[in-house]
Amino acid sequence: MIPAPTQPPPTRVAPPPSQIEPANAEQPRVALTPARKRVGQSPFALVIKAILRPIFKLLYYVIRWIRTHKLVTLLALILLLASIFATTYFASGQTPLSSSSNSLQQSVQSNPDLSPDVQTWLLALRAGDINTMLAVQKAMSASTRPPDSSLYVLQFSEKYAPVKWTNVAVTSINKAPDGLIDTFIETDISSTSSASGTSTTTNSVVLWHFSTTPSGRIFLLDYVSGRTV
């Protein structure tokens, strides 16, 4: 018979020491961080909110009312625009959509210091209407040197020169001993030029001299000077 193999007795593992802390052990102290106020809770933010909240609330209710009363809103808008047009027309004689071009023309035509012939000639120069300019110049005295109207049109008209008239003003009026009336008129002109992708605006002042008869006919007209301002 073969004897049974002998096995070593099992070894006992000692349990780890107890991890339980005694009841009287002192707990570590943790510093408490005070809660920070949000930006919206600062006194200044609260004041702003108190001011803006009623405004936004009012806008909200107005928008809701407009959505539910579209026809009434449309009629109110039409009446508002009509009142604006009427007020502007009766106060200034022109509509809000009138261009500055019409405004300048009206200012020239309503200037009591300019005779009808001077007004017509200036507006024709601005429009580049050389035929009207020549028609006005026919009343000039044959003894005087006629102006070079074609050159003036090329230099100072909005049609043929890159300029825009912005103002016409009478600077002085003098009555000569022979009865002629000497009137000096400044025309403010702006021009825009482009170079290297940048546009530059230049403002100029052109001075004209008109001698007119007591009846308003042009006796003599001269281009006096032009300067950049």
CATH code of the domain containing 157? 3.10.450
Average per-residue pLDDT in the chain? 81
Residue 116 sits in the same domain as residue 218: yes
As given in the structure block, the two tokens for residue 75 are 């009629």
Number of domains within the chain: 2
- Is residue 106 a part of any domain in this protein? yes
Q: What percent of the chain has pLDDT over 90?
A: 32
As given in the structure block, the two tokens for residue 14 are 């000692």
Q: Report which of 198, 181, 199 is spatially closest to residue 190, judged by C-alpha positions.
A: 199
Distance CA 116, CA 114 (A): 7
Query: In the predicted model, what is the mean pLDDT of residues 167-187?
Result: 93
Query: In the predicted model, what is the mean pLDDT of residues 53-66?
Result: 89
Torsion of Cα atoms, 163 then 164 then 166 then 172, to 10°? 50
Residue 153 near residue 128, CB atoms below 8 Å: yes
Residue 84 sits in the same domain as residue 175: no
SS3 percent helix, strand, coil of the chain, rounded to 5, is: 40, 25, 35
Residue 105 sits in the same domain as residue 171: yes
- Is residue 120 a part of any domain in this protein? yes
Cα radius of gyration rounded to whole Å, the chain: 45
Q: Report which of 210, 28, 36, 187 is spatially closest to residue 114, judged by C-alpha positions.
A: 210
* pLDDT tens per residue, range 9-18: 666 656 665 5
As given in the structure block, the two tokens for residue 125 are 């120069």
Q: For residue 188, what is the DSSP state?
A: E
Distance CA 228, CA 155 (A): 14
For Cα atoms 137, 140, 141, give the angle at the middle one, nearest 5 degrees.
150
- Is residue 2 a part of any domain in this protein? no
Residue 183 sits in the same domain as residue 78: no
Residue 142 sits in the same domain as residue 215: yes
Judge whether residue 195 has pLDDT over 80. no
Distance CA 159, CA 126 (A): 8
Query: Cα dist. 199→38, 170, 177, 192 in Å?
Result: 50, 31, 49, 7
* pLDDT tens per residue, range 98-151: 555 678 888 898 899 999 999 999 999 999 999 999 999 888 877 777 788 899
Q: Report which of 212, 203, 158 is spatially closest to residue 183, judged by C-alpha positions.
A: 212
As given in the structure block, the two tokens for residue 133 are 């300019």
